[in-house]
Structure 1
Amino acid sequence: MMIEKNKGKWIGLGIGSIIVLFFMWGSVIWGLTKIDTQMVIDSFLRFDGSNEHIIIQDTRIPRSLIAAAVGASLAMAGAIMQGITNNPLASPSIFGVNAGASFFVVLGITAFGMTSLMSFTWLAFLGATLAVIIVYSLGTLGKDGLTPIKMTLAGAAIAALFSSLTQGMLTLNEQSLDQALFWLAGSVQGRDLNILTAVFPYILTGLVASLLIGKQINVLAMGEDLAKGLGQKTWLIKVLAALTIVLLAGGAVAVAGPIGFIGIVIPHVARWMVGIDYRWVIPYSGMLGAVLLLIADIGARYIIMPAEVPVGVMTAVIGVPFFIYIARRGINE
């Protein structure tokens, strides 16, 4: 009965999954180096060490997988954040995830001379986790406990603090600037598949958890008092949601750097497509987030070819007009 009732949404997920696979395939074959479908097949069945086969195996396929995983994770994290805070502008950046990750990466470069992407990955994951813990701790202060407005204000304050400290370190140590800028811009270019596999268990756990708490977020989104009246342990749901955000957004930022706007834009598109039921908003957000980042990454290859634009710049170009629209609509309401 439930499947029949939501038949259109299931069909939409199926079509969307095919679109994701199409752009993942496009991410492998489109770019500066000319690659066709037969080359991709031959690189698996008859690898000959040619430049094209090496690019397919070592660059294009990892890049495609990373873009899909990061886009889905950021969008789902954004959907959860908007659900539990009742804030249409909520995203990983509002919890200080991006700023905390960036601070720890720059700290590792300037204070400890770290240079490898793998070390950046674990530093970023640690920074993102610490940022969310601090935001939740500050959000629980006061007699009302954890509230959406306090979480939003705490997140904004922590994001500003970490951003200021990051800028200060870069100003004091200009030698670290070049090493940090590429990561700070956000990119899936040059990321090794080992970076994704290192954090994938955490991302996968977050993906599964996000699909399981959709019903609880529906209740929480109706209001704190109503949720408590219905017997929901709101503090527990918020803690579980925070852990899920850490796994999703922290893992994504650790792999690709602080890519913005996906977590803001995509949940709104998902709600426009399937309504306000977070049991559907979250999976649709993951699907659409993967599509958006794949498209942005493919487009980044052609803007100033043979050079590339960081994909974080592309998502900003796409996301800023939408962000302004959401902000203006919220003010007018």
Structure 2
Amino acid sequence: MTVAHQATVTRSAVRFRRRAAWLALSAVLLLAVSAASIAIGSAALPLSTVWSAFTAPNSGIDHATILTLRVPRTLLGLLIGASLAVAGALMQGLTRNPLGDPGILGVNAGAGFAIVLGVSVWGVTRIADYLWFGFLGAVVAGAVVYAVAARGPGGATPLRLTLVGVALSAVLMGFSHTLAMLNTQTFDRMRFWGAGTLADRPDGTIAVILPFITAGLILAVTCARGMNALALGDDLARSVGSRVGWTRARGMLAVTLLCGAATAAAGPIGFVGLMVPHAVRFLVGPDQRWILPFSLVLGPVLVLSADVLGRIIVAPAELQVGVVTAFLGAPVLIALVRGTKVGGL
């Protein structure tokens, strides 16, 4: 082994240990935020009561509040945060657009339009039914964007995906707002969901979205190596043996599953998929094999932190998590964009 090669191996080992340490620290942070999400709420409960709810549960209202409301809300936040952050990392990698977001595919707009349609046309009244309408709308919107973009010369290029996604989002959002304004009942039902919330989700929400999110995360992991090749450009990626079209199709499907399920369950929560991957690149650089697991951990940290903050700042009332992420995301995103060390894609 030459001296230069040995030095390269040593640097690689040091870089791996540093990234692994950051990932372990992120996991500890996630545990702390999850504990805070369970312990803090509109009802001020002592920590001893929270602890006893897990160690010696009873039928009292305090324990019921923790086990039937706060724990499911925290678990939902974990799933939503992981889904949106990983979907955002995928979108930015697939389109080579540092400001890419899951909404660029029209997935959020598709989910919202399908739910508005279900409420106004078919009279859907239960939030549990919104999940299926929202997910179907997300899948159809993602498929339409990819199909339309793929028809042009060169297939579904990043620029074409972006343009088609933005155009479809504008059209669907226009239809959604029109339907909601024409039907007062629909407008009233959509206001709460449209703000983006983890609160008051119907029983079974987690069970409904979990299979789709699991499938999306598995697909995302299989795309990591191919997305590293895509960062070189389509031509160079093909020259090193990467199947560009297959990687992009799998990534698009993963984004649709993740963002569709998350949006259907909690409504449109912005900035998570845009902000978290940027923050991750400050820690680990452009390697998608590290960006995706970090996004998986730090996405829930952001969503749960925003949810806890929303319970505190206007207590005893609550701010919806989608409102808080917008307040948090805007200045942080500006700082990231203006920074001199923004990670490359």
| 1:39 pairs with 2:52 | no
Please give the alpha-carbon distance, in whole angstroms, between the structure 2 residues aligned to 1:59 and 1:116.
Answer: 18
State how far apart, in whole Å, the 1-side matches of 2:172 and 2:332 are.
Answer: 26
How far 1:129 sits from its partner (Å)?
0.8
Moved more, 126-135 or 39-48: 39-48
Deviation for aligned residue 1:328 = 6.6
- 1:88 alignment counterpart: 98
Q: Are the counterparts in 1 of residues 42 and 317 from structure 2 also a CA contact under 8 Å?
A: no
Which letter does structure 1 place at the counterpart of 2:36?
G
Is the Cα–Cα contact under 8 Å of residues 89 and 277 in structure 2 kept in the other structure? Answer: yes
Per the alignment, residue 59 of structure 2 pairs with: 49
Of 310, 318, 321, the residue aligned with 2:328 is 318
Corresponding position: 1:197 with 2:207: yes
How far does residue 326 in structure 1 lie from its aligned partner after superposition? 5.7
CA contact (8 A) 1:88 1:326 kept: no
Matched, 1:250 2:265: no
For structure 2, the 5+ residue unaligned runs are 1-8, 341-345
SS of 1:112's equivalent? coil
Secondary structure of 1:47's counterpart equals: coil
Q: Distance in 2 between matches of 1:292 and 1:135?
A: 29
Report what 2:39 is aligned to: 29
Measured in 1, the distance between the counterparts of 2:153 and 2:74 equals: 47
Aligned residues of 1:97 and 1:249 also touching (Cα < 8 A): yes
- Count of residues in correspondence between the two structures: 331
TM-score by length of 2: 0.91
Match of 1:261 among 267, 271, 274: 271
- Structure 2 CA distance for aligned equivalents of residues 281 and 220 of structure 1: 15
Give the letter aligned to residue 260 of structure 2: G
The correspondence of residues 15-26 of structure 1 with structure 2, limited to 5 A, is 15-26=25-36
In the other structure, the counterpart of 2:235 is: 225
Counterpart Cα distance in 2 of 1:97 and 1:131: 6
- Between the aligned partners of 1:311 and 1:59, the Cα distance in structure 2 is 16
Q: C-alpha distance in 2, partners of 1:249/1:36? A: 36
Contact 2:224 2:289 in 1 (8 A): yes
The amino acid that maps onto 2:192 is F
Secondary structure in structure 2 of the residue aligned to 1:213: helix
Alpha carbons 1:62, 1:193 under 8 Å: kept: no
Deviation readout 1:177-215 (Å, 9 max, x if unpaired): 111110011000112451011110111121222122211
1:155 aligns with 2:165: yes
- The alpha-carbon deviation at position 225 of structure 1 amounts to 0.8
TM-superposition CA deviations, 1:48-84 (whole Å, max 9, x none): 2211111111110011111111011100000000001
1:243 deviates by 1.0
Aligned to 1:118: 128
The one-letter code sitting in structure 2 at the alignment partner of 1:8 is R
The answer as to 2:286 corresponding to 1:276 is yes
Give, as a single letter, the amino acid of the residue that structure 2 aligns with 1:20: L
CA–CA distance in structure 2, aligned partners of residues 285 and 214 of structure 1: 13
In the alignment, the residues of structure 2 paired with residue 77 and residue 11 of structure 1 have an alpha-carbon distance, to the nearest angstrom, of: 24
Q: Contact conserved, 1:92 with 1:263, CA < 8 A, in 2?
A: yes
Q: 1:38 to 1:329 in 2, by over 3 A?
A: closer
| Cα shift at 1:288 | 1.2
Separation in structure 2 between the aligned mates of residue 37 and residue 204 of structure 1, nearest angstrom: 32
C-alpha distance in 2 between matches for 1:40 and 1:247: 34
Distance between the aligned counterparts of 1:193 and 1:275, measured in 2? Answer: 40
The answer (yes or no) to whether the contact 1:66–1:193 under 8 Å persists in 2 is no
Aligned to 1:302, the other structure's residue is in SS state: helix
1:134 and 2:144 aligned? yes
Q: Find 1:63's aligned residue among 64, 73, 79.
A: 73
- Output one character per residue of 1:94-127: Cα deviation in whole Å (capped at 9) or x when no partner: 1111111111111111111112121011111111
For the pair 1:12 / 2:22, whether they are aligned, the reply is yes
Matched, 1:210 2:220: yes
Residues in 2 aligned to 1:211 and 1:8: alpha-carbon distance in whole angstroms: 21
Shift of 1:327: 6.1
Counterpart residue type for residue 204 of structure 2: N
Q: Is the 8 A contact 2:40 2:308 kept in 1?
A: yes
SS at 2:121 equivalent: helix
Q: Which amino acid aligns with 1:262?
A: V
Work out whether 1:235 is the aligned partner of 2:250: no
Asked if 1:299 is matched to 2:312, the reply is no
**C-alpha deviation, 1:307, in angstroms:** 1.4
Distance in structure 1 (CA, Å) of the matches to 2:238 and 2:22:
33
